[in-house]
Amino acid sequence: MARSHYWQLLPYLKPHRQSIAIALACTLGFTAFWPVLAWLAGQLTGLVAAGNMGQLVRVAGITTAAFLGQKIMQYGQDALMAKAALAITLDLRLATYAHLQTLSLSYFETAQTGDLSYRLTEDVDRIGEVVNKAFHDFLPSVLQLIVVLSYMVYLNWQLTLATLIIAPLMGVLIGWFGGQMLLFSRRSQNRVSDLASLLTEVFSGIRLVRAFAAEEYEIDRFRQEAERSRQAKYQAAWLKALQFPVVGFLYASSVIFLLVLGGWQISQRNLTGSEFVSYLAAVGFLIDPIAHVTDNYNEFKQGEASVDRIFELFAIQPAVVEQPTALTLPPVTGKVEYQNISFSYPASLKVGLATDSELEPPAPVLHQLNVLIYPGEMVALVGASGAGKTTLVNLLPRFYDPQAGQILVDGVDIRTVTLASLRHQIGIVPQETILFSGTIAQNIAFGQPQFDLATVEAAAKIANAHQFIRQFSQGYHTWVGERGVNLSGGQKQRLAIARAVLLNPRILILDEATSALDSESESLVQEALERLMQDRTVLIIAHRLATVRKANRILVLEKGEVVESGNHTELLGQGGRYARFYAQQFHGE
């Protein structure tokens, strides 16, 4: 675990330095009232004993005004720091989320979604609370200790020196408790992250759980994980429960010790009765700040674990990086060249590693692959699972970068252009359509905050989606549930096609998903796909014989290499790998 540094938060404090500065000014004003109030307490006691009502009323009025002034300062301190802390929390959360958006697919394929969600919510909130408490609670408490102790030294340095004999022991105890609290807090937060990850995993695959009647199995898994979380939380709670009685007893003992010493100082005429009352009032003013400093120290240690977890994410660097000198790719004709491409997926990536490019690669998926695709050509990729079909198409939009070779679009190396300009010219219709919570129109115009509804409707018509959309009472404004559960497979697929139509790309990547559809849906989707593919360069991971037959060229992949190339008739005539693959996969059609 990397050592935590709270100074890493400084860039997030700087934009709010004005609010923080005013809050600190209020803190200084708030602190300055403590010795004044302690002195006034002594004066009031003396006047009460003397029975001087006129003077007593005047001093009581001054004391009330002093309390009011202090509370006004406290309000300014707390309100301004809460405002700044919440703004810092928002900035940190947005920065973390934005950084995650830059990371490569290889990272998200191994990261736990529940853990990332916990970091973006609970960990960031905890850091915001620490920042708030540091300025509106911890710092005022420390200043109060300094000011009040200084006043106590002024009243009677011998008594104060004796009082502080016990301070080193308290410091050692607080330090030990804080170190243990950090250890237990990290363990507790990791357990909660594991629990959140389990929930995300199970709820995402709830159909599989039902299909395998695995409810009891999952309940048992959840019970075990929840018990680990409970144990970790209890360890932290137990330590906290032990700390306060120990520190509190030590403090109470010191107060009793004070009373005895104070009586002795009065007997020696080194202190008057009024001064001793002021001294005791000052001691009383130390109780809260000592408790707050102790409590805040523990919370800072808990927050330190959260800082570690957030900045671990910032330490992870993307494997696919846009060059500082990257140019905007102009509109292309759709010529694609793979030149001597070799690629291996990175090993399992875990949160906390500095970069996903430092990992030892496993066996290569693609070997010295060379492919040339002409503008407007429809190329089908066939081969057994693991042959490299998906990898081949995923390299084109730079979801990954090859370890060797280069990919050219219209003769331009794709690593020399901006990712946005490259990906805006490549449309993807995946095998499993991903829909987000939002309206149907927003899902079709995904990635476009502002869009023209008429254009969305035109894209939907091309995708054979307009008819079923109109059947909903709210039409294009119909809300799509999480993952589009209220839509059929064919409807979701047509929305994905409409999304690609609206993008109007020159290059199209299709991972056919018609095999799991009923005949009517398959016909509508196939018709929509044919419209979408017109006048575009198309790469298809083919699952259907009809698609293979229509392709201008078929590439047969085996163990990361193109072993055969040609159209359907040519490859059948050769009687090679494609002919065998056809007999196994397509002959039934």
What is the secondary structure of 139-206 as a DSSP string?
HHHHHHHHHHHHHHHHH-HHHHHHHGGGHHHHHHHHHHHHHHHHHHHHHHHHHHHHHHHHHHHHHHTH
How many structural domains does the chain have? 2
CB-CB contact of 321 with 415 (8 Å): no
SS3 content of the chain, % helix, strand, coil (to 5): 65, 10, 25
Task: Please list the ranges in the chain whose pLDDT falls under 70.
Answer: 1-5, 49-51, 163, 165-172, 174-175, 178, 211, 251, 255, 287, 347-363, 482-485, 512-520, 586-589
Can you give the pLDDT at residue 190?
80
Can you give the pLDDT at residue 6?
80
Residue at which a domain ends, from 315, 347, 377? 315
Give the amino acid at 141.
S
Verify that 349 and 286 share a domain, yes or no. no
Q: Is residue 128 included in any domain, yes or no?
A: yes
Rounded Cα–Cα distance for residues 546 and 585 (Å) = 12
Rounded Cα–Cα distance for residues 136 and 125 (Å) = 16
Q: Is residue 360 included in any domain, yes or no?
A: yes
Verify that 248 and 373 share a domain, yes or no. no
Can you give the pLDDT at residue 1?
40
Verify that 345 and 311 share a domain, yes or no. no
User: Token digits for 233?
Assistant: 């939380």
CB-CB contact of 178 with 296 (8 Å): no
β pairing state of 507-511 and 426-429: parallel
User: Token digits for 455?
Assistant: 């254009």
**Burial classification of residue 217, based on how many CB atoms lie within 10 Å of its CB (0-12 exposed, 13-18 middle, 19 or more buried):** exposed
Q: Is residue 472 included in any domain, yes or no?
A: no
3-state DSSP call for residue 359? coil
Can you give the pLDDT at residue 241?
81
The length of the chain is 589
Q: What confidence tens digit (pLDDT) does each residue in 471-504 have?
A: 998 999 998 876 666 788 888 888 988 998 888 8
Q: Is residue 116 included in any domain, yes or no?
A: yes
Q: Is residue 485 included in any domain, yes or no?
A: no
Verify that 185 and 278 share a domain, yes or no. yes
Q: Is residue 581 included in any domain, yes or no?
A: yes
Can you give the pLDDT at residue 358?
45
Q: What's the CA angle centered on 346, arms 351 and 327, to 5 degrees? A: 95
> What's the CATH number where 238 sits?
1.20.1560.10
Verify that 244 and 346 share a domain, yes or no. no
Verify that 348 and 298 share a domain, yes or no. no
Range of the domain at 369: 336-425+505-585
> What's the CATH number where 523 sits?
3.40.50.300
Rounded Cα–Cα distance for residues 412 and 246 (Å) = 71
User: Token digits for 174?
Assistant: 């607080």
Q: What's the CA angle centered on 136, arms 132 and 140, to 5 degrees? A: 145
Rounded Cα–Cα distance for residues 461 and 465 (Å) = 6
Residue at which a domain ends, from 315, 349, 367? 315
Chain-centroid distance of CA 46 in Å reads 60
User: Token digits for 438?
Assistant: 């939002």
Verify that 374 and 310 share a domain, yes or no. no
Q: What's the CA angle centered on 310, arms 306 and 314, to 5 degrees? A: 160
Can you give the pLDDT at residue 113?
81
Verify that 156 and 76 share a domain, yes or no. yes
Verify that 154 and 41 share a domain, yes or no. yes
Verify that 23 and 95 share a domain, yes or no. yes
Can you give the pLDDT at residue 92?
93
Verify that 238 and 160 share a domain, yes or no. yes
Rounded Cα–Cα distance for residues 458 and 17 (Å) = 51
Q: Is residue 491 included in any domain, yes or no?
A: no
CB-CB contact of 412 with 337 (8 Å): no
Can you give the pLDDT at residue 507?
94
Give the amino acid at 439.
T
Can you give the pLDDT at residue 355?
43
Q: Is residue 120 included in any domain, yes or no?
A: yes
Rounded Cα–Cα distance for residues 81 and 137 (Å) = 10
Verify that 28 and 83 share a domain, yes or no. yes
Rounded Cα–Cα distance for residues 112 and 222 (Å) = 16
Can you give the pLDDT at residue 354?
38
First-residue to last-residue Cα distance in the chain: 56
